[in-house]
Chains A and B, each alone.
Chain A
């Protein structure tokens, strides 16, 4: 098959977009274990210390047996708490392993296919599109749609609904003017955020300060100053100019029109915070900065696009029509209304070889078609053998007015 090179599946290169499919659960596994370990360390230290203290106190007769029992109760409660937390981590780990197994199995299916013409490939590729769409929907916060699609297709284990729903909850809380959830997330991921040099916590602390300033009451002002000393000044080395701007806010009322202070007071900052959070979140979990579907589409639209797709006169080859020489019988996806506007601004594919129907003939109106197409269309239109009909304009011409076209 001449087409072999173009249809062969390059196993490794074909899975470029699928990296996060395995990377994300892997990162979550590690994060989950770190969390389990952190909880266990904390509770173990507490219980061990209390155990030691109680034993010593009991030995020295400083702690009465009643108090020993009380302390033991405290320890038991603490351990039960730890068990609850570890059970949750264990469940999460099991879930992530299940996801990983399902995903590896799904990706491995591709190994049994060698070309994109394989009948199994279409089903696989459709499943991939479903995954990409769920990813897109989740990233834009269309959580109900993402869930509905995943359920409809039975691909819950191949998509990361929980992760993104948790993310969009925090994002929405920011958009609604609450930083509690985002700050809690910062605390949970303190170390990783510091390693990434994320600005998120600093920005949240600034916003906290601004909200205190906004109330314009002297008591809150003092509180704001205390807050700034504790949470903002420590960032002075890293974000010097912002710190001084924020400090200067003390001299400006919330309704100031003076820049940059007016911007700091602007309610639009919440949207900015939401975006900074999203970015930190995605970076932390190794997720691409924009939806995978965007990557697939911009690459795919370009690869499919030809100069003809947005031409004004309607190319002759745009007419969907069964034919014998190769050019697809279907309407071009770029010309189809769904994608036409979307593809307008992007480059068209590069070709180094002409690709046309065989036996090209030119009609008197300048339009060129393959002989076989013209013949079939003429016979479907009920014309005799001495006439042809233009596939686009429907004009009818006698065959002796046709001219051969040579494409070198």
Chain B
């Protein structure tokens, strides 16, 4: 049995806490007092006799006091006890850890973040949320431009603690207004480009096609691939061929598998007709594969035992093809297939512990981690979150950059350009990794 995680421990405590008395227990006691008062009132009002009145009132004192004491001394105490138990559990299992709070690298980029969020909604197919957001953001910008200074609220609240101590808000505001004015133009471009509907229409097209793919209808995707055939081909994408191939197999499998109407447009004859009409364009490039697909016809009654069973096992084909469709669709728009916002936020939480550790260590020195070119600490991410080649010069122990690019030596070894300059003796240098010597003119920059 594994040790429970901190959160599981809190969950266990929580189960007890929710059963403990709450503020609601006091309501019955308030009712009790109301009843005491009402009864006394009725009794006195019935006779309006001074003696009854004073007697009733005297008798009322004690029970009323007891009831009030119960509410304040008892009910609230118990409700407090529940909160305390919860607080203790939180402090023990989820103790507060400081988050980066001194410098907000994102402070002046509200419009760009807004734009990324709006695009995220669109690519997630949340079209209603997206349009609510785009409208609201535009509206608020119009409103904000009326209070010129308020659009800088973010950059202000960032360091407002210092500003408050020094109390120089009036000095700070002119510069801030200037930045906000400069930002305004890019802001307008940012969201209005989304309002143009074009992107929204694109994503809505993508969503419709994906939905059809999920419902095992390849045709809208094939149609899209045909329209964009030239661009797809330039990217080296086989999407159209893959789709057409699956459509052939899908038809080949017939009504029992594909659930389409059992007519002349379904089954092996239809598949053959489909092949004749559509495979032609791909003959040159995919000849071998086409041969196999056609050859399978001969084994039609018993594909699962034939050499072609691999080609015809397309259980996972729809989800695979949906993934490649999304990738191609997005990349034709210049977008990555997965939401960058999702990837960045996930990578952010994975890297955050390193950042927090670093900030804790350097707090006293007041180093700003966001000001350098390179992070001063490593943030390991899973491989699927690595999108570019990384070359770390084995001599310099640093990454190559545009100003210090990788250089290949005649022997095939790669070094950073700066390293090479350091190794240079006159016009010649020796490779640090093999015995070969070379001249500067024999090296060349490479692009990884």
Contact = CB atoms under 8 A, between A and B. Distances in A.
B290 interface: no
B379 A349 contact: yes
B154 interface: yes
B408 A362 contact: yes
**By DSSP majority rule, is chain B's interface helix, strand, loop, or mixed?**
helix
A406 B412 CA distance: 5
B96 A296 contact: no
Interface in B102-157: 104-107, 109-110, 112-113, 115-117, 119-121, 126, 128-129, 132-133, 136-137, 140, 147-150, 152-154, 156-157
Interface in B59-112: 60-61, 64-65, 68, 71-72, 76, 79-80, 83, 86-87, 90, 94, 96-97, 99-101, 104-107, 109-110, 112
Contacts of B226: none
Contact of B99 (A16, A107, A270, A320): A16
B437 interface: no
Nearest to B30: A83
Given A59-B54, A65-B49, A327-B388, A279 B157 contact: yes
Interface string B391-416: 11010010111100000100111100
B105 A298 contact: yes
A52 to B, nearest CB: 7
Contacts of B45: 65, 69
Contact of B385 (A48, A268, A304): A304
Given A11-B5, A80-B34, A125-B346, A97 B18 contact: yes
Contacts of B401: 307
A274 interface: yes
A126 interface: yes
Interface stretch (B210-218, B249-257, B300-308, B330-338): B330-338
Nearest to B6: A12
B262 interface: no
Given A44-B71, A298-B370, 10 more contacts: A23-B96, A40-B76, A47-B64, A65-B45, A108-B8, A108-B10, A267-B147, A333-B339, A368-B448, A407-B414
Interface stretch (B200-208, B267-275, B350-358, B422-430): B350-358
Interface residues of A, number: 178
A407 B394 CA distance: 9
Nearest to B385: A304
B90 A26 contact: yes
B112 A275 contact: no
Nearest to B397: A352
A311 B402 contact: yes
A148 B133 contact: yes
Interface string B339-382: 11111111111111101100000000000011111111111111
Given A16-B352, A306-B388, A6 B383 contact: yes
